[in-house]
Structure 1
Amino acid sequence: MMNSAATRMSVSQIDAYLDEVFPQLHHGGRTYVVEAVGPMTARMRCDYHERHLRPGGTLSGPTMMTLADVALYVAILAQIGPVALAVTTNLNVNFLRKPGQAALIGEARLLKLGKRLAVGEVAIYSQGEAEMVCHATGTYSIPAA
């Protein structure tokens, strides 16, 4: 997944936009990073940090849910441009296995991008591991132009 002429926003444009409209995403330090965008896709990384741990030493569910939600939003922004009021209407998350104490990689893919709805999925992996730790599907509502 690389920046592509088929996208309306680049990684650097999306980063700047997220910093502007969602500065709270980086509260306590930047850990969610947009790595790549492409046609109907985005890849994000959540850097490992102790604040993401839950009892038992695993990365928390809310950390993975945030990564999935933001990765879908980034994939949508890359396609439609800066639309702040595109909002999550559904997020379904399946935790498949305990992630290690490592960065998480979220690979988002849009399954449908219509005028009013976007549907996508995100596969989340522990960095360096081949087995998925979490799978999420989500729907976003896109406001009328």
Structure 2
Amino acid sequence: MAKGPVMGVAEVEAYLGEVFPQLLADGRVYTIEAVGPMTARMRMRAGERHLRPGGTVSGPAMMGLCDLALYVAILAQIGPVGLAVTTSLGFNFLRKPGPGDLLAECRLMKLGKRLAVGEASLFAEGADEVVCHATGTYSIPPR
């Protein structure tokens, strides 16, 4: 498929705002920081609603960021395909991130006509160690 992004950050954000307006229901929690060839970087401003007892960002919040960041990486490569859907996700929670922003670094390992496979690594802002690693597979509908 594509060798580089066909949509930039502003285009992907505009598309997500159009097809997933619920992402903006509580203000801008997710920000796309960059897209590149087979890559994306996103930020989640983890607020009080994203925390679990013990003051750490919850697993479901981290899972959502991974899924969205991988979807962004795919959209940037293939364009506005709303029905590209998650078919599987696997997570390894490695460390407890404290309150604060999380950064997702994504890389697509395979991008075919019907399937995309990628991985996402989450980092607490300012930290070098991965707090969560995810792999995902996404089904791409025929054009």
Aligned with residue 39 of structure 2, among 21, 30, 41:
41
Contact 2:96 2:131 in 1 (8 A): yes
Counterpart-to-counterpart distance in 2, 1:81 and 1:43? 17
The Cα RMSD (Å) is 1.0
Deviations 1:70-115 (A, max 9, x none): 0000000010000000000001011101002110000010000000
State TM-score, norm by structure 2.
Answer: 0.96
Partner residue in 1 for 2:138: 140
Counterpart-to-counterpart distance in 2, 1:74 and 1:116? 17
**Identity within the alignment, %:** 67
Gaps of 5+ in 2: none
Gaps of 5+ in 1: none
**One-letter code aligned to 1:117:** L
State TM-score, norm by structure 1.
Answer: 0.95
Aligned with residue 107 of structure 2, among 104, 109, 120:
109
Q: Which stretches of structure 1, 4 residues or more, deviate above 6 A after TM superposition?
A: none
5 Å-filtered alignment, 1:85-104, equals 85-104=83-102
Across the two proteins, how many residue pairs are aligned to each other? Answer: 141
Give the SS at the match of 2:31. strand
Q: Per-residue deviation at 1:27?
A: 2.2
